Amino acid sequence: MLDMIRSETHPLDAPLPPPPQAQPADVALFLDLDGTLLDFAARPDAVVVEDGLRTRLRRLRTALGGALALLSGRSLQQIDALLGLPEAAAAGLHGAELRRANGRVSQLRPEAERLEALRDRARAIAAALPGVLLEDKGVAFALHYRNVPDAAPEVERAAHELLRFGGAGFELQAGNRVVELKPAGVDKGVALAALMLEAPFAGRVPWMLGDDLTDEHAFARVEELGGVSILVGERRPTRARHALADPAAARAWLAALADAAATQPMEVR
Ligand SMILES: [Mg+2]
């Protein structure tokens, strides 16, 4: 799939420059959470959010006229519990849940019986893989192997077994020491494009910060829309055109943007 966007001018594994200077009045900001703003923890429920980050995100969202959205593999409920920003636009479960800027939420809901059968199968699969953690997200099932990285090939095989069992309507999303079965047809790029059609995002330049394979869908949309794509971390290849070293660098970048946005003259649109 990545071959499709290989180009002479932008080798996918080239060293990437830092982000350009942002003009807050024109920015629509899209942010991944884990591995981007938050450092990874041994378990997804063990991540730490600094108080300063919550306050900064709230201030920045206001300064951007509401044009700030969170795009995560976590559920909307988890995103809100972590950040305390339930008024913000957000895509949960890689886009299977979408909350627009006006607060309206749409959710892709696979048939309950099928989900129940998938859940049972996912539990059985995880139980047979010591050290692998099953994260049940309701309509998506993630197999985390952060604590047993050598188990990658077995987890990959198990995920494909789960995909065959799930059948049409589901697809796999690989990530940083995780493989996840999720509803097909939604991804962070689709979610970003949907949000960009509406106020207050429409007419602004999309900026996307992300670290993982699931963020590549959003990077691709951002590039199509003439925006700014920023990879957090060392993973390659990527479609992103800019990079920041790690989540600490991403948080510092966000803080600088929040300061710049707070001091800009208010613009009437
Ligand atoms: Mg991430």
| More confident site: 263 or 57 | 57
Q: What is the pLDDT of residues 100-118, one digit of tens each?
A: 999 999 999 888 899 999 9
pLDDT over 60 (residue 182): yes
d(CA 180, CA 136): 10
Cα 165 to ligand 1 centre (Å): 27
Same-domain check for residues 193 and 254:
yes
Q: Please tell me the distance between residue 267's alpha carbon and the centre of ligand 1 in angstroms.
A: 32
Q: How far is the CA of 32 from the centre of ligand 1 (A)?
A: 5
> Between the CA of residue 6 and those of 2, 11, 12, 221, 238, what are the distances in Å?
7, 6, 7, 15, 10
Dist. CA 66 → ligand 1 center (Å): 22
CATH code of the domain covering residue 151: 3.30.70.1020
Whether residues 31 and 83 share a domain: the answer is yes
For the beta sheet containing 141-144, the strands, ordered from the edge strand earlier in sequence to the opposite edge, are 133-136, 141-144, 178-183, 170-175
From the list 3, 26, 32, 45, the catalytic residue is 32
For the chain, give the mean pLDDT.
92
Annotation says 51 is catalytic? no
pLDDT digits over 131-169, tens only? 999 999 999 999 999 999 999 999 999 999 999 999 889
> CATH number of the domain that 96 lies in?
3.40.50.1000
Whether the CB-CB separation of 211 and 233 falls below 8 Å is answered with yes
What is the rounded distance in angstroms from the CA atom of residue 233 to the CA atom of residue 240?
11
Q: Is the pLDDT of residue 8 over 60?
A: no
- Evaluate if residue 14 carries a pLDDT over 70: yes
Q: Are residues 102 and 199 in the same domain?
A: yes
In a domain? residue 3:
no
Give the pair of three-digit tokens for residue 197: 């059609």
From the CA of 214, how far away is ligand 1's center (Å)? 8
Residues 175 and 190 in one domain: no
Structure pTM?
A: 0.90
* pLDDT 10s digits, 53-89: 999 999 999 999 999 999 999 999 999 999 999 999 9
pLDDT bin (cut points 50, 70, 90) of residue 5 is: very low
Cα 171 to Cα 139, 159, 186, 267: the distances in Å are 12, 10, 10, 43
Per residue, what are the HEC states of 46-114? Answer: HCCCCHHHHHHHHHHHHHCCCCEEEECCCCHHHHHHHHCCCCCEEEEHHHCEEECCCCCEEECCCCHHH
For residue 266, the model assigns a pLDDT of 53
Q: How far does the centroid of ligand 1 lie from the alpha carbon of residue 161, in Å?
A: 25
Q: Is residue 234 domain-shared with residue 135, that is, in the same domain? A: no
pLDDT at residue 42 in the model = 85
DSSP sequence for 197-230: TSTTTTTSEEEEEE-SHHHHHHHHHHHHTT-EEE
Residues 122, 255: one domain? no
Mean pLDDT of 191-196: 98
C-alpha to C-alpha distances, 99 to 92, 141, 195, nearest whole angstrom: 8, 21, 9
